[in-house]
Amino acid sequence: MDSFRILLGFNVETVEYKNIQFTVWDVGGQDKIRPLWRHYFQNTQGIIFVVDSNDRDRIVEAREELQRMLNEDELRDAILLVFANKQDLPNAMNAAEITDKLGLHSLRQRAWYIQSTCATSGDGLYEGLEWLANTLRKAGHQ
């Protein structure tokens, strides 16, 4: 895989990385479409939750949406990768601050990882996918 595409709306793409095939549903984060997220939860083994690290005004909203999603029965076994995006911006919250603000340390029954990223340059994306691929493999998913 040589590149990443930034997808908007409800897009689906199949990506292969480290011999694991990922079917990626980009469901977007706009308020009006969040109620539709649950239609994509069935058979989900991993979640990539992208946070705008520069948006301090909406981090509480991000935490609430993440917690609401993780409380869904169909996602109880899904592992969680958080991309702390926009790390190239000077006032971006670092991964430790986002971990705290999202309450990730309280997720004791779920494998999770946070990766600092910059989607425009690709920084951190492969490292996050590496963790996701290894964790899925350890859990017996292919």
Annotated binding site: 29, 85-88
Which helix H or strand E contains 26, and what residues bound it?
strand 20-26
Q: Which of 30, 42, 109, 142 is catalytic?
A: 30
Centre a 10 Å sphere on the Cβ of residue 5 and count the other Cβ atoms it contains. Answer: 10
DSSP 40: G
30 noted as active-site residue: yes
Burial category of 16 from C-beta neighbours within 10 Å (exposed 0-12, middle 13-18, buried 19 and up): exposed
Residues contributing to the annotated binding site for GTP? 29, 85-88
Please say whether the beta carbons of 116 and 95 come within 8 A. yes
> Which residues are known catalytic residues?
30
